Chains A and B, each alone.
Chain A
């Protein structure tokens, strides 16, 4: 065999290896792969043709027999280990040695996960398609049930998945239950509690229905294009597992029985008496409602007396004003200050642990009615800053674009969202309660503002509380135990000398002695 022939063989193997590596890494045939594969095959063919006689003698010799034997034996051995590893990934047990068991699920979550009847998959949407914290949490969930799997998705690389699962916020986990055609729900919080509650939601047999009142110029949930549309929050609600419908109440005898929540998103035209009565009856039977209001524009006034009275009947007074905050406001917004930022939240399940900011453009002030009926609990849950005020001179504000704090105005903080809980038993209307969340702004959840700050979370939290979805299961967040360590400076230096320097020093001396002895 010519020496160059063997070289062809070696080069051929190198070229083929690099080509295959690139094929697997880049997932396809690109120029580098083609060049390497073609050149590699060419070199191997050259090697075979130029050393045919030697090869035939090698393949029939003793070395070939042993070589073939070794290759088969090796392949079988490695194949066996691959199989063992594969099985170990399917059936494994683990021991969590942390004191607080931070890498284990609570018993409530374990029951939920072990009770899964169909396959459940977590799709985690994260920047770059990875998040160590999410992977760790999903892995912990997946450990408890073979039915639960997960995948981390880069929404920039897979926009079709984000679109399909109605994911609009980075860091969202989509839970798909029962395969591709099954139920799905989204959750933006990365905690055991949020994921467990989302599993409960996704595995529920029927969807909760949110009805958006229609026919009076309300914000349109089907409008995803215009700034004033509610297409974004509709997508978010659907992502959370709700079914969103439009409610033509004027044509119906009453609010449908399967409605879990009715949203009245800032009607511009007046509601008929029949509609107001239907909404009132619905609430009296334990209904849930979101009522949203727009400010009165002197040039285009709204006949809203019935809607304002409806809120008043349930304990919320809607002020005929507009909240101005020229200090804590959106910087890019008009300097007039009609988009105040809310950073203060009330003690309420909707705003529990809510430390994020929200923006409430074109908001009216809300307050509790002075003489609340027994059984009604009214809680202000979002307040603007001390620098804000409720401007009553709407004429000057809208016509001359001027706002000034006067004696007639109410100084901040101003409540812009109120939560109402009405105990029906105390009203003599049967058991249970009626719930209502009143928003002084309609624009805060429209397509323009829903994605700003944490507006969508506020809206979705409100829907969750109203439909009884909040805190289905409450799990205390666990963290690694706090540590202490006390060492005086003197102790520090002693420990350092003995533990860190002494041993290496002795080892070094021993090494030098050994070296010296061997040298001599």
Chain B
């Protein structure tokens, strides 16, 4: 495990030595800020309008979590589908391209430790980014009365989602030495997990239940509304473990192929 953390530290430092990490964080926070303030502004206008109209029925239904945090988190999830491949594409692909991959594989460390190290670094990077986006709920707490429990659950969902994404990104990066192919195939897989339940929504097919279970937005949406269900946690952890296992298999295969 010590080796994993050594690799993770080196990888994480590597992220911050590359401009791409700063670009990803900037884009994420700028878009997050834009969504947050646009939704907040709309909420405030609605609140003022209905207060002026003295419409208690509508005022009773106006909720900061439902109108600001929930849509913002859903939008950020889509942004992550685009940004995560940019973060993970270089993990293995660049090592293969530059020739350091063989060095890594011949070093006295296990494949699992290599994968774990790279995963910890990418996950930590995502958590730092999401942590910075945590300032939005803090603003709400300072100036309004949102439901803190629901916000916590939503951000926990976003953390699980992003960590699942990076594990899938690591897997696609381990398959190729071309970073573009790694990024696009990761993007395709993440998008597939987003849209997989669309045929089920149209009501057809024999695998409706399975497809719905595989649908990532369904599990995420539940957490965003304030429900922490062990099913969703198991789903996210399984997704992470499957992707990391396949990554490990893929890296391992280089030793015997």
A407 at the interface (CB under 8 A from B): no
For the complex, would chain A's binding face be called helix, strand, loop or mixed by DSSP majority?
helix
Residues of chain B with a CB closer than 8 A to A70's CB: 249, 252-253
Interface residue? A408 (CB, 8 A): no
B238 engages A84 (CB within 8 Å)? yes
Q: Given the known A-B contacts A81-B238, A511-B22, are A96 and B227 also in contact in the complex, defined by CB atoms under 8 Å? A: yes
Question: Are B65 and A480 in contact, with the CB atoms below 8 A?
Answer: yes
Q: How far is the CB of B84 from chain A (nearest CB, A)?
A: 17
Q: Is A85 an interface residue (CB 8 A)?
A: yes
A19-27, A172-180, A365-373: which lies at the interface: A19-27
Looking at the assembled complex, report how far the CB atom of A200 sits from the nearest CB atom of chain B, in whole angstroms: 26
- Among A81, A92, A482, find the residue whose CB has the most chain B CB atoms closer than 10 A: A482
Least Cβ distance of B21 to chain A in Å?
8
Across-interface contacts of A78 in B (CB, < 8 A): 242, 245
- How far is the CB of B87 from the nearest CB of chain A, in Å? 14
Residues from chain A with a CB closer than 8 A to the CB of B62 are 482-483
A26:B44 contact, CB within 8 angstroms: no
Contact stretch, chosen from A40-48, A190-198, A416-424, A494-502: A494-502
CB-defined contacts of B63 to chain A, threshold 8 Å:
480-483
B135 at interface (Cβ–Cβ under 8 A)? yes
- Bin the interface of chain B by size: 35 or more
Residues 210-244 of chain B, each 1 if its beta carbon lies under 8 Å from chain A, else 0: 00010000000000011111110011001001100
User: Which of the candidate stretches A97-105, A113-121, A384-392 sits at the interface with the other chain?
Assistant: A97-105
A26 & B205 in contact (Cβ 8 Å cutoff): yes
Contacts A92-B230, A480-B63, A508-B22 hold; do A518 and B17 have CB atoms under 8 A apart? yes
Indicate if the CB atoms of A504 and B26 lie closer than 8 Å: yes
Is the C-beta of A331 less than 8 angstroms from some C-beta in chain B?
no
Kindly state whether residue B207 has any CB partner on chain A within 8 Å. yes
CA distance A81 to B241 in the complex (A): 9
When the two chains form their complex, are residues A95 and B228 in contact, meaning their CB atoms are under 8 A apart? yes
A24→B207 contact, CB < 8 A: yes
B144–A484 touching, CB < 8 Å: yes
Interface membership of B199, Cβ < 8 A = yes
Is A98 touching B249 in the complex (CB atoms < 8 A)? Answer: no
- Tell yes or no: B1 within 8 A of A by CB: no
Write out, one digit per residue, whether chain B residues 191-216 have a CB within 8 A of any chain A CB (1) or not (0): 00000000101111111000001000
Could you tell me if A485 and B40 are in contact, using CB atoms closer than 8 angstroms?
Answer: yes
How many Å from the CB of A175 to the closest CB on chain B?
21
Interface membership of B104, Cβ < 8 A? no
Task: Give complex CA distance A491, B139 in Å.
Answer: 11
- B88-114 contacts to A, CB under 8 A, are none
Min C-beta distance of B98 to chain A, whole Å = 15
* Residue in B closest to A140 when the chains form the complex, CB atoms: B227
Chain B residues contacting A512 (CB-CB under 8 Å) are: 19, 22
Instruction: Out of A84, A480, A484, A487, name the residue touching B234 (CB < 8 Å).
Output: A84
Given contacts A130-B203, A485-B40, A512-B19, contact A88 B234 (CB under 8 A): yes
When distances are taken between beta carbons in the complex, the residues of chain B under 8 Å from A25 are 199, 204-205, 207
| B245: A residues at CB distance < 8 A | 74, 77-78
Query: Which of A93, A103, A492, A500 interacts with B226 by CB under 8 Å?
Result: A103
Interface residue ranges of A473-487 to B (CB < 8 Å): 479-487
**CA–CA, A62 and B255, complex, Å:** 11
Chain A CB within 8 A of B150 CB? yes
A164 within 8 A of B: no
Choose from B144, B153, B202, B203 the contact partner of A483 (Cβ within 8 Å).
Answer: B144
Determine whether A405 belongs to the interface, using a CB cutoff of 8 Å to chain B: no
Nearest A residue to B138 via CB reads A499
Verify if A89 is at the interface (C-beta below 8 Å from B): yes
Instruction: Flag if B231 contacts A88 (CB, 8 Å).
Output: yes
Give CA–CA (A492, B144) in the complex, Å.
Answer: 13
Is A154 close to B, CB under 8 A? yes
A182 close to chain B: CB less than 8 A: no
Q: Is A157 an interface residue (CB 8 A)?
A: yes
**Residue in contact with A511 in the complex, picked from B23, B37, B242, B249, CB distance below 8 Å:** B23
By the criterion CB–CB under 8 Å, are B147 and A486 in contact?
no
Residues of A within 8 A of B205 (CB): 24-27
Let me know if A24 and B206 touch, CB within 8 A. yes
Is B145 an interface residue when CB atoms closer than 8 A count as contact? Answer: yes
Query: In angstroms, how far is the closest chain B Cβ from the Cβ of A225?
Result: 31
Contact B132 A85 (CB under 8 A): no
- Say if the beta carbon of A63 comes within 8 Å of chain B: yes
Instruction: Tell me whether B230 and A93 are in contact (CB under 8 A).
Output: yes
Which of A70, A95, A483, A496 has most chain B Cβ within 10 Å? A483
Interface set of B (CB-CB < 8 Å, partner A): 16-19, 21-23, 25-26, 29-30, 33-34, 36-37, 40-41, 43-44, 47, 59-67, 132, 135-136, 139-140, 143-147, 149-150, 152-153, 199, 201-207, 213, 225-231, 234-235, 238, 241-242, 245-246, 249, 252-253, 256-257
